[in-house]
Amino acid sequence: METSSLEPLLREHRFLRELSDDHVRFMAGCARNVRFAAGELLFREGDAADALLLLRSGSLVLEIDVPGRGVVRLESAGEGEMLGWSWLFPPYRHELDARALEPVRALAFDAGCLRRKMEENHDFGYALAMQLLDQAHRRLGGLRLLRLDLYRTDAGSWA
CA dist 149 to 31, 74, 138, 158, Å?
Answer: 38, 13, 17, 9
Q: Which residue has the higher pLDDT, 146 or 68?
A: 68
What is the per-residue pLDDT across 25-81, written as a single tens digit (0 to 9) for each?
Answer: 999 999 999 999 999 999 999 999 999 999 999 999 999 888 888 888 888 899 999
| Secondary structure (DSSP) of 7-66 | HHHHHHSGGGTTS-HHHHHHHHTTEEEEEE-TT-EEE-TTSB--EEEEEEESEEEEEEEE
**pLDDT value at position 138?**
76
Residues 89, 130: Cα–Cα separation, whole Å: 15
What is the per-residue pLDDT across 104-125, written as a single tens digit (0 to 9) for each?
Answer: 999 999 999 999 999 999 999 9
**pLDDT value at position 84?**
86
**pLDDT value at position 159?**
47
Domains in the chain and their CATH numbers?
A: 3-150 (2.60.120.10)
Q: What residue type is assigned to position 123 of the chain? A: D
pTM score above 0.95: no
**pLDDT value at position 151?**
56
State the greatest distance between any 2 C-alpha atoms of the chain, in Å, as a whole number.
Answer: 56
